[in-house]
Structure 1
């Protein structure tokens, strides 16, 4: 995944939004680099969809400022809309039309000429492996095909920034992997992806940076690895060839030994510096290690530590 060093694709400062007495966004700050994948995580009801709706000009903010693709979302909404694409939690596909007709309709809405619109539709049908189903009713499409068509419709306008709100909800593992490859291809072409998802493995797999939203506030931000290192529980597993080496290593390093398995678990955050220090201590003690593996907390552990609840917990979404 390549990250451009030019101006951020999305910047939000002090973004606030309430619905009645319920504060949904409580002064959040975001910055998303061009040509990257940014994932916004949080429990249902945390404010993720509200943030996407504000940044994509679908609703206004009560306070704060935001710029998308260099344009102010409040003062230049038309310029923002011309630069973005939005794929929501629920497909915008028209079941009464074929796949090709859905794409041509989007081309008409973008004021493309008849010939250009058909060319663009054919190009996207091929790109998303929908050529064989191009002239079939979208009502006959599988869930994965519908999501691909939905994203293809978003791309008709050649957006620079795409908001993907829960793009793989309900998809089978193969369809999810296909969508991941499409996202990677888009980013390789310079598109910025702003992703919200309940699937933490998806964020771990795709995102350059992640922010965690809880009860309307950002509680953490960083790369996936940076967030994992914030949570205790990481360790290095050392395996030895005999019990004597395990005992020597335990005296030198501490940790939890399993003499039957000939292993020693040593607390470690997995960073290069801490691993180098551990190996230096082994060398100083002239202890030979047969194998070494690093075990760090995953994003589920991060999510639970930051929000106080597992990632699978469901609440009323806003």
Structure 2
């Protein structure tokens, strides 16, 4: 594919921390105007990759371009074109939403009139107009996160890096952030999203890259990734554990592979090709055998199953803390020009 199609392009990125390779030939191609998810187990190199692309770390090898500019040779040009929102909101809780936006506008070198005008545009875009003059300390988690996203958009960056933007939010807050992200992409912003929530990646991302041990091991659409581990699955949950064998036999006769039996949850599942006839046959057999069933149905593979198959880890595994200079730590910017919000403030 032509590099001109890409808002973000990484080729063979390398980064070491002592003897540990945080990135070991990392590749990524993000098309303009899309949401590209970046998934991986804790310590796989996601945060390191984002920090290199945002010019907060220098790679030890390989190359990367963001918005058409090399992150190592022309970091200033990259910073003028990106926004970065980390896991913790960076807004001032004492000030109002409007005051926060005007303040960030002034930090990004807008004159007062332009800063005020831009703050009004962003308040409307992110659905915060009615709460514009409330102190941020009164905001819900979702509102605070939307304000944080708005501050990253002061100069309408071409590329926005979102590092686990909905961590700690309730379902309503997560939905509010998702709607805000969709609005940004509709206006032409490219988003690179790291997340531990598989449903978030599934709902937002046009493509998903999976990183493991510092390398990209898969990169495709959510639907194509799911297809890699098979299509439809028939799943039966029996009432009595003693009936698991009968259920497994019924499923095996219609399945395209050996059924998987989960004794703890009294569940039998297997991939099938002819969805309707498979379900009908299994239901008929279980009725004839007088097997009591708690649940039976067809379902598609989930991204969580894809993630587990590709990496051997579940996405929700707890993160082991790293030091500030560790592979997934926040580290420190490599010079006074870097900013956690937007490079144009440099």
Does 2:107 match 1:125?
A: no
Residue equivalent to 1:311: 315
* Alpha-carbon distance in structure 2 between the residues aligned to 1:121 and 1:6: 32
Q: Unaligned 5+ residue runs, structure 1?
A: 238-249, 258-264, 269-274, 288-292
Question: 5 Å matches for 1:206-285?
Answer: 206-232=204-230, 234-235=232-233, 267-268=271-272
Q: Deviations over 1:128-170 (max 9, x none)?
A: 2222332232223221111011000001111111000000111
Task: Count matched residues.
Answer: 285
Relative to the length of structure 2, the TM-score reads: 0.74
Q: What is the root-mean-square deviation in Å for CA atoms of aligned residues?
A: 3.1
Residues 27 and 215 in structure 2, CA contact (< 8 A), matched pair in contact too: no
Which of residues 27, 30, 42 in structure 1 aligns to 2:28? Answer: 30
Matches within 5 A, 1:1-318: 7-232=5-230, 234-235=232-233, 267-268=271-272, 295-316=299-320, 318=328
Counterparts of 2:25 and 2:191, CA distance in 1: 22
Maintained 8 Å contact 1:14/1:64 = yes
Verify the 8 A CA contact 2:10 2:65 in the aligned structure 1. Answer: yes
Q: Please give the TM-score of this superposition, normalised by the length of structure 1.
A: 0.80
Task: Report the CA distance shift for 1:234/1:60 in structure 2 as closer, same or farther (over 3 A).
Answer: same
Distance 1:93 1:252 in 2: 57
Q: Is the 8 A contact 2:4 2:68 kept in 1?
A: no
How far 1:254 moved relative to its partner? 6.7
Structure 1 distance, partners of 2:41, 2:270, is 32
What are the ranges of 5 or more consecutive residues in structure 2 without an aligned counterpart?
A: 236-251, 260-268, 282-296, 323-327, 329-346
Query: For the Cα contact (< 8 Å) 1:43–1:314, is it kept in 2?
Result: no
Tell me how far 1:255 sits from its aligned partner: 7.4
Tell me the equivalent position of 1:240: none
Which segments of structure 1 move beyond 6 Å, counting only runs of 4 or more? 250-257
Matches of 1:32 and 1:252 in 2, distance apart? 41
Structure 1 residues 6 and 189 mapped into 2: Cα distance closer, same or farther (>3 Å)? farther
CA distance in 1, matches of 2:42, 2:271: 33
| Local SS of the residue matching 2:127 | coil
